[in-house]
Chain A
Amino acid sequence: MSAKTYAIKCTHCAAPLDLLGGGRVASITCKYCHSQLDLTNHYNILATFNNVPRPQSPFEIGMKGRIKGVEWTIIGWVRYKTAAFPSETWDEFFLYSPTHGYAWLIQDNKNISFSKRVRNFDVFAWKTKPSKTIFYNKGHYIQQESAYDIYVNYVEGSLSSIVKFGDTITCRDYYGVNRKTITIELQQNEIEIYLVEKLNPTSVYNTFNIPKEKQTIKQNLMDKLNQDTQEEPIEDFEAPQKHSRSILMGFLMICLLLASLAIASKFFSTPVYETDFNVNIEQNITIDSSGFLTSIYFLATGNGLSSNLQIWLYKEGKKIFYIDSDKVYFNKQDLGESWRYGSNAIVYLKLDEGTYKLIAKKTNPNINIHLRIQQNVIRLTYILPLLIILILLLLISYSHVIRSKIGLIILIIVAVIIGYNLFGFIALFGLGYFYFFIYGSYDDYHKTHRYDDDWDDDYDDDWDD
């Protein structure tokens, strides 16, 4: 299957011009005299651009290559330049396939991308309320840099529109995952949406038969791109790196917050009441802050808690809290069993501000009990596991950056030690569960979403018998 080729002569300089492409081709620009002919109107000359130097490029009009399993012919070429200083230039080659229509092959000095216009983007909603984030085809895309202007620096060959030297376009790029970008182009009153996908440069050069000496992406950069795109596609490209950096910063901020809370828990709490008693006590205590938890800590000599220790807290004559060796009651609810044996226990309560009456009774006079009540207590039991899980997720997400799993192994060991100290063997089960189910599925996802190196094969399977 190949594009039909018709030959005409330039109506300005009589140079032979190959008319590649389909019926939607609207203009052709002669590569010798830079006259632009209107294909919709008897090859009338729309403009002639004298003294325009022809830039160098490894790609030439008429070359054929396979991208996404489809054979494309390069039928046109536009070089763009950014208006802002320092300016950047890049080439866009207009592609044609009889079955898949028109697309662009974009080459700058770092990347090669494939771009195709899409028409199922909700332009109406975007125009009504332009946003930094957009949603397209079940994916989120984020605008990371403001809109920028580009202008046409060179034109050659066939295009589906009239594109002249100096034409300016305003672009907005929205970065998504899997090396995809949505580019919104505004030119005069027209808005066009393109889905841009980064390609493996070596594969593109190979499929278009570009010899090594003409490949403009530097070999060391290409090696890196090829290696990265085969292994970890998303983060290693320039723009998504910014995206991943912002996620990393978010993760780090949460970790920092949790770590701060964990450290603050050691200094933040203030004593409310502390005593050693071997007789019954009745004492008023005052809670000044309800922002965090209130802890009640008991330490008994021997196996003292198994004796009939009873604690009550009353507020304005109403029972708020009760605990003995069998049960716990708090806020009108029986919370089940308490301690059966042991020498110490700690209870965390969410108490409102106010004055409480504390009553503590015990039946065995030979046992001394140390009682300590603290307020503004931050419970490490909640924070530390969350912190550990976040750090683990962070490390797993960026394991490709670390390039080895030594850091991961160290962190797992630390997590095991802390988990074991806090929760005993249950923590080991929890970590095992985390590894096999959460990390396992995450790792599978990560592997399956690596650079789609077989882009050449996907559609081969579909279309090539």
Chain B
Amino acid sequence: MSKKFTVEKEIHCPQCGVLLPLYFKYTKLIQCDSCKSTIFLEDEGSRVAGDSSVLSEEPSIIVLNQAFFYQQTSYIPIGVIRYSYGRGYWEEWWIKDSTNNAYWLSVDEGDLVLQQETDTLLSLEEFDTLYVNDSIQDGWIVTEKGVATCEGFSGALPKIVKKGSQYHYLHLSGKDGKLQTIEKVDNNLETYIGEWISPFDIGKVF
């Protein structure tokens, strides 16, 4: 792993005792590399969640804990959630740059979207009534509406996810090539805005 990325904290796995590095202080969920236990991080403590998930090895342009660069900035993938849409899957990678800014990188069969969380301007009622090709304020147009099922996760994450849980999402396209994702999770909306990046612009860090 690149020396640019530092371990901010270490915890012991409550199940097997192995030392787990935390690369980001906002980590809420981590999977033990050794016993694959899912561990919730609560303030100063940690506890083992009931279930665990093991993601099947799939070819991916992004590899957990292997730094990559994009536009002269290097990033480290800290965690990944795999979502299924029936016939296929996509992955949401939690990554941070060398100045500790955190991002979500969506990887869907060569389509990469780098996003950061932002304020939600949509109401739950509006979310439910939007469909593909509908427009909302500032010229955003809905390009996809669907339901995602969590197949599992690996590494460390800033939020709690459960294997098998489902959420509704909207993908929107906006001005300047911007892309927006709005997710409905437990009756709350989470909004992410960012940009599409070409897989050919991703490079390895040695």
Chain A contacts to B: CB under 8 angstroms: 1, 22-25, 39-40, 68, 97-103, 116, 118-125, 189, 459, 462-463
Contacts and interface: CB of A to CB of B under 8 A. Distances in A.
A122 B175 contact: yes
Given A99-B60, A99-B110, 5 more contacts: A100-B200, A101-B199, A119-B177, A120-B197, A125-B175
The 4 closest A-B pairs by CB, nearest first: A23-B88, A101-B110, A119-B196, A120-B177
Given A99-B61, A100-B61, A101-B110, A120 B175 contact: no
Given A98-B58, A189-B133, A462-B204, A22 B196 contact: no
**Interface size bracket, B side:** 20 to 34
Nearest to B60: A99
B109 interface: yes
B198 A23 contact: no
Contacts of A120: 177, 195-198
B176 A99 contact: no
A463 B60 CA distance: 11
B176 A122 contact: yes
Contacts of A39: 87
B173 to A, nearest CB: 7
B174 interface: yes
B91 to A, nearest CB: 12
A123 B172 CA distance: 13
Nearest to B110: A101
Contacts, number: 71
14 contacts: A1-B59, A22-B88, A22-B109, A24-B109, A40-B87, A68-B200, A99-B199, A103-B110, A118-B198, A123-B177, A124-B139, A124-B176, A189-B133, A462-B203
Interface centre among A1, A97, A124 (most CB of B within 10 A): A124
B59 A98 contact: yes
B156 interface: no
Q: Is chain B's binding surface mostly helix, strand, loop or mixed? A: mixed
Contacts of B113: 119
Contacts of A124: 139, 173-176
A101 B139 contact: no
A101 B176 contact: no
A101 B111 contact: yes
Interface in B164-206: 173-177, 179, 195-200, 203-204
A403 B99 CA distance: 51
Q: Is chain A's binding surface mostly helix, strand, loop or mixed? A: loop
Given A99-B199, A124-B174, A23 B89 contact: yes
A113 B173 CA distance: 28
Nearest to A22: B109
A112 to B, nearest CB: 18
A98 B204 CA distance: 17
A39 B86 CA distance: 11
A116 B198 contact: yes
Nearest to B58: A98
B85 interface: yes
A430 B198 CA distance: 45
Interface in B85-132: 85-89, 108-111, 113
A101 B199 CA distance: 9
A220 B173 CA distance: 46
A269 to B, nearest CB: 55
A122 to B, nearest CB: 5
Given A122-B177, A123-B173, A462-B203, A100 B196 contact: no
Contacts of A24: 88, 108-109
A463 B204 contact: yes
Contacts of B203: 462
B196 A97 contact: no
B204 A97 contact: no
Contacts of B108: 24, 101
Contacts of A463: 204
Nearest to A68: B200
A39 B87 CA distance: 9
Nearest to B61: A99
B79 to A, nearest CB: 19
Interface centre among A97, A100, A116 (most CB of B within 10 A): A100
Contacts of A462: 203-204
